[in-house]
Structure 1
Amino acid sequence: MGDQFVDQALARTEGTDSAELQRFVTEHVWGAIWNRPGLDRRSRSLLNLGILTALRAHEELAGHVRGALANGLTREEITEAVLHTVGYCGAPAALSAMRVVQQTFDADIQ
């Protein structure tokens, strides 16, 4: 999601009880995991859309939709990824995720 996103996340938690968790996530998830050689960023973004839909992690989903677009996924592919989750995560999870996706798409147009 870029250096600016990471810097803002770290700054947002600086001096709080959440700071250590944010530093850990930054180093180990955004750093080590996202930089492993086995998958490209586009593939990792696609996986994240499904995982976040399954977890109903809507607070994280909007940012990952923007990240997926930046990593080369199209709006059609993102929509298709959410549609794919219906069979595995259920309609309520997919419908909720698609609301977040659509709001993110709409915000990017304006």
Structure 2
Amino acid sequence: MTDNRYDEGIRIRREVMGDDFVDAALDRNAGTDGEDLQHHITATVWGSVWTRDGLSRRDRSLLNIGMLVALRATEELRGHVRGGLANGLTREEITEAIIHASGYCGAPAALSAMKVAQEVLVDELGPKN
């Protein structure tokens, strides 16, 4: 049986995160120790988890934003805010997810996340009217 998780994962990863984001991650790690990790994440996270039927991509994006706030993983959050927009989340939903996470993750994590999210939202959608 052929394992096509990497191929399926790279397709979904590109659809959600965009070619520029994915190419930058792959290029940054090409020929380094991180190259195997990129392949592994693409196959397992994107090719196994993101391909499951239980949640929509939109819901997965919303969950990711909350988890990344909790982890204070602001660089990953930047890409997933863009991915959330690509998956149909609104500016208001992204902001509410961060506000909601502040109650469980604390103000410092939420403030750091909102700074990153704000940069992405302005870049992608323009200033809030």
Shorter-chain TM-score category? over 0.9
List gaps (5 residues or longer) in structure 2.
Answer: 1-12
How far does residue 30 in structure 1 lie from its aligned partner after superposition? 1.3
How far does residue 99 in structure 1 lie from its aligned partner after superposition? 0.5
Within 1, Cα distance between the matches of 2:23 and 2:108? 34
Q: 1:23 aligns with which of 39, 42, 55?
A: 39
Give the secondary structure class of the aligned counterpart of 2:31.
Answer: coil
Partner residue, 1:100: 116
Give the secondary structure class of the aligned counterpart of 1:52.
Answer: helix
TM-score of the two chains, using structure 2 as the length reference: 0.79
What amino acid is the match of 2:63?
A: L
Within 1, Cα distance between the matches of 2:107 and 2:55? 28
Within 2, Cα distance between the matches of 1:65 and 1:42? 11
Q: 1:79 aligns with which of 95, 98, 115?
A: 95
List gaps (5 residues or longer) in structure 1.
Answer: none
| Contact 1:61 1:97 (C-alpha < 8 Å) held by counterparts | yes
Q: 1:89 aligns with which of 105, 111, 129?
A: 105
Partner residue, 1:43: 59
Partner residue, 2:7: none
Q: 1:34 aligns with which of 50, 53, 59?
A: 50
Q: Cα RMSD over matched residues?
A: 1.5
| Contact 1:6 1:26 (C-alpha < 8 Å) held by counterparts | no
Structure 1 runs (4+) deviating above 6 angstroms are: none
**Deviation string for 1:5-42 (max 9, x for gaps)?**
43443233111111101100011011111111110100
Of all paired residues, the percent bearing the same amino acid is 62
Aligned pairs (5 A) from 1:59-74: 59-74=75-90
Within 2, Cα distance between the matches of 1:75 and 1:52? 17
How far does residue 102 in structure 1 lie from its aligned partner after superposition? 0.3
Give the secondary structure class of the aligned counterpart of 1:107.
Answer: helix
Within 1, Cα distance between the matches of 2:23 and 2:111? 32
TM-score of the two chains, using structure 1 as the length reference: 0.92
What amino acid is the match of 1:2?
A: R
